[in-house]
Structure 1
Amino acid sequence: MNVISDSATMLRRNFRHTMRNPLTLFNGIVMPVFLMFLMVYVFGGAFSVGVDYADYATPGLILTTICYGIAPTAIAVNSDMTNGFINRLRVMDVSRAAVLNAHVIATMLRSLLAIALVVGVAFLMGFRPSAGLPEWLGVVGVVVLAVLAISWLTVAFGLAAKAPESAGMAAVPLMLLPFLSSAFVPADKMGPGVRQFAEYQPFTPIIETVRGLLAGTPSASSAVMAVAWCAGLALIGYLWARKSFTKQG
């Protein structure tokens, strides 16, 4: 029970820090909405994807929204390790594991809130999914798994970095990965090399699964790959984070 109550306390602390950091709110919410306008209204007409571009781009923008909100988490985790906060917990009856739990939960809640806002904006811009209730539940499940996996990877990046500045940079590859997937254009329209990378990297099956569910045409093979990638990445991030935390703490 101490871990649960301590995690709740640390979660409140993280939310207070988030509200005091305009950059966190800007990266996590404003930038994805701006990117939605940019892709649909500026670039959308240039892409031939067989469906309305708002319908095609929204699943990719959901993943992009997750990735745009992770840099502050990596920085915050690293700051906790390097500014003596963890050392102060050593002399208190506080579960140090609660620090990592709180960062993961805060990142997930912040990401899901931003995703809800982006999806709401997408509806205003013409997004019209054909999904029924079971498909929407599937979308929520896949998105939550993706957020969990990316959150643990981000925490691991923050623990592995030497300084808060480098922790923020460590999250950049995850922020760029959606642009090298099928998020905004089909992989088969990309050039050689890039196409193969887009087809086999983890974000593409996740995006295609969400896209299929929202279109009312889910693919079992894509869903299995998406869940496998999410579970694998979450496990890697969790084990890496625990190892780094134990070594440093």
Structure 2
Amino acid sequence: MTNIATTAADSATMFRRNLLHMLRYPGLTVFVIGIPVLLLLLFVYVFGGTLGAGLPGGGNGASQQYLAYVVPGILLIGVAGIANGASIGIAQDMTEGIVARFRSMAISRAAVLNGHVLGNTVQGLLCLAIVLGVGLLMGFRPAAGPLAWLVLAAFLALVCYSISWVAVAMGMSSKTVEAASNWPMIFTLLPFLGSGFVPTASMPGWLQWFADAQPFTPFIETARALLAGRAPSAGDGWWSLIWCTGFIALGYAWARRLYERKSV
């Protein structure tokens, strides 16, 4: 087989390994799903009335209005949780010696990394589907049509995939599993410092600048527009693609360099 075919076959094997690991050790998956669900319940039922009243047009039904506003931010919190799982997963493999064994076998080096990233992307989409289902049970009624749903699914898959690459590199650079769990915390903070929970226009000027410039705000606004059944703004759409491309390039180059260096 050609190098590309070999890498694809080995990546599929590593992908199946990560899916089986996810099924046999569901604790991390439950944790990744549980955090955004709890945040959704907390922000809607505890803070929703007050925060919803502050939205444009807020008034009667403020909690339900806030539910529609906050769901995209909670979805991106779920993506941040997947980053944590990706970092922990590769760190466990690195510290337990299984990666060293893979290096001694006739396996494409890129396949080990691809398997983790693809597995975490699937785990991320599962998490987001459950979080969205909880939102629907709470009364969320998106206006998205069939095409918008397809675009949203593809967009969220791309975000999960790109963030997973950076998270895998973070996990490989960590000396312990505990350290690997700390690195991706920045991804959890960014939705709070963006437009996930309140409009950026309500923030102080210096913080508004950061909120508008960081990657999770265009991610959230793109998801929010698609769920509302309208096309994302050109700025949000293009910046989302630029950030995703940058994350993939950075994460792949960083992870591959670490893998090659530790293979010597």
Q: Normalising by structure 1, what TM-score?
A: 0.93
Aligned to 1:195: 208
User: 1:128, CA displacement in angstroms?
Assistant: 1.4
Question: How many angstroms apart in 1 are the aligned matches of 2:226 and 2:134?
Answer: 19
Q: Are 2:85 and 2:120, in contact at CA under 8 Å, matched by a contact in 1?
A: no
1:82 correspondence with 2:95: yes
Percentage of pairs with the same residue: 42
Matches within 5 A, 1:22-171: 22-47=26-51, 48-50=54-56, 52-171=65-184
Aligned to 1:185: 198
1:227 correspondence with 2:241: yes
Question: How many angstroms apart in 2 are the aligned matches of 1:95 and 1:192?
Answer: 49
Amino acid at match of 2:101: R
Aligned to 1:10: 14
User: 1:79, CA displacement in angstroms?
Assistant: 2.5
User: 1:27, CA displacement in angstroms?
Assistant: 2.2
Aligned to 2:260: 246
Structure 1, unaligned stretches of length 5 or more?
none
Aligned to 2:25: 21
Q: How many residues are treated as equivalent by the alignment?
A: 249
Q: Are 2:82 and 2:160, in contact at CA under 8 Å, matched by a contact in 1?
A: no
Q: Encode CA deviations 1:166-220: one digit per residue, 9 max, x unaligned.
A: 1111111112211111001101112342222111100001111111122123212
Runs of 4+ off more than 6 Å: none
Q: Are 1:86 and 1:96, in contact at CA under 8 Å, matched by a contact in 2?
A: no
User: 1:54, CA displacement in angstroms?
Assistant: 1.3
Query: What's the secondary structure of 2:46's corresponding residue?
Result: helix
Q: Cα gap change, 1:140/1:75 in structure 2, threshold over 3 Å: closer, same or farther?
A: same
Of 4-13 and 116-125, deviating more is: 4-13
Question: How many angstroms apart in 1 are the aligned matches of 2:154 and 2:77?
Answer: 17
Question: How many angstroms apart in 1 are the aligned matches of 2:127 and 2:189?
Answer: 18
Question: How many angstroms apart in 1 are the aligned matches of 2:247 and 2:15?
Answer: 23
> CA RMSD, aligned part only?
1.7
Q: Normalising by structure 2, what TM-score?
A: 0.88
